Amino acid sequence: MYILTTYHLYRLGASEDGTPGIEWSAAYDRGTGTVPKSGQVSLGSGTSPTLFRIGTRRFVTIADNAKFMNVNVYRAETNLLPGEQRLFAQTAPFGQNEAVSDENSLIVAPGVDGNSMDIYAENNFGNDDPTSTLGPAVTQPGFARMHLQSDGTFTVASVNNTIAVPSVVSKVSLGSNIVYTYNKTPDGWFLTGLDADDLNAVRFTTRIGPGSFGYNNFYAGLSLDADGKTIWLGTLFGLTKIQLE
């Protein structure tokens, strides 16, 4: 089990008699402020740990709460090889921008070469309560794709600095190579599909409703049905079904 607190990332395990214990912990940059960043509900990171493998090695990734937010990748095994550090890779997907926070789990998808991973992060800065997106109001924009290679090379591959995603947990489909997200503009709420390689290439966008309270998902998730054409989305109205062509 991996748990992220406002100070550390922990890996917990159980002994043979079932007693839980800490197998390792890693401190991260939780920020220097005394109040949460805009778009987050507490101090420290707002992300949930995301687990993945590259080859035979296991990793876990989070976004930290640094002044310029980083995405951190840690080696997940309890025992590391000689000379290895717990922190495997780190990059700042939105550069030297202070108006960035991420309250959601990062997306991780296999790279096209089979020996790398793509990691996606959205910017939730500005989403402090449902009134933050009421009417024409929008949050700070930003959606980034990073590329992680097996040797630890970690680069920012694509950044969309125009789309504003207040809080949905976006999803990627390997079959369609689309990132499905729920974004807000002054004209209302939209279900949008971004090309998973080039996040500035919009594959489709459809308006779901105006900027009233009911269409706000406010941290509810988004799920893609097995048929590849149906999206399920939680909003303040309740569970919303969106049928794609």
- Which of 125, 116, 118, 73 lies closest to 94 in space, CA to CA? 125
pLDDT at 194 over 90: yes
Q: How confident is the model at residue 203 (pLDDT cuts 50, 70, 90)?
A: very high
We find that the CATH architecture of domain 2-243 is: 7 Propeller (2.130)
Strand partners, 144: 121, 159
Residues 160, 39, 128, CA angle at the centre, nearest 5°? 125
Would you say residue 245 has pLDDT above 80? no
235 in Cβ contact with 222 (< 8 Å): no
Among 171, 184, 145, smallest CA distance to 231 is for: 171
Please state, in angstroms and rounded to a whole number, the distance separating the CA atoms of residues 160 and 59. 26
Task: Supply 32's token pair.
Answer: 């220097």
State yes or no: pLDDT of 42 exceeds 90: no
pLDDT digits (tens, 9 = 90+) for 149-163: 999 999 999 999 999
pLDDT tens across 1-40, in order? 999 999 999 999 998 888 999 999 999 999 988 889 999 9
> What would the mean pLDDT of 39-51 be, rounded to a whole number?
92
Mean pLDDT value across residues 71-99: 97
**pLDDT at residue 83 tops 90:** yes
pLDDT at 178 over 90: yes
Reading across the β-sheet that carries 8-14, which strands appear in turn?
2-4, 8-14, 20-27
Given a contact cutoff of 8 angstroms between Cβ atoms, the answer to whether 186 and 207 are in contact is no
Domain coordinates of the chain in residue numbers? 2-243
Percent of residues, the chain, with pLDDT higher than 90? 89
Contact 224, 171 (CB under 8 A): yes
At 166 the pLDDT is 97
pTM for this entry = 0.95
Helix, strand, or coil here: 141? coil
Contact 218, 169 (CB under 8 A): no
Q: Which amino acid is at 101?
A: S
Q: Which residue has the tokens 């960043």?
A: 37
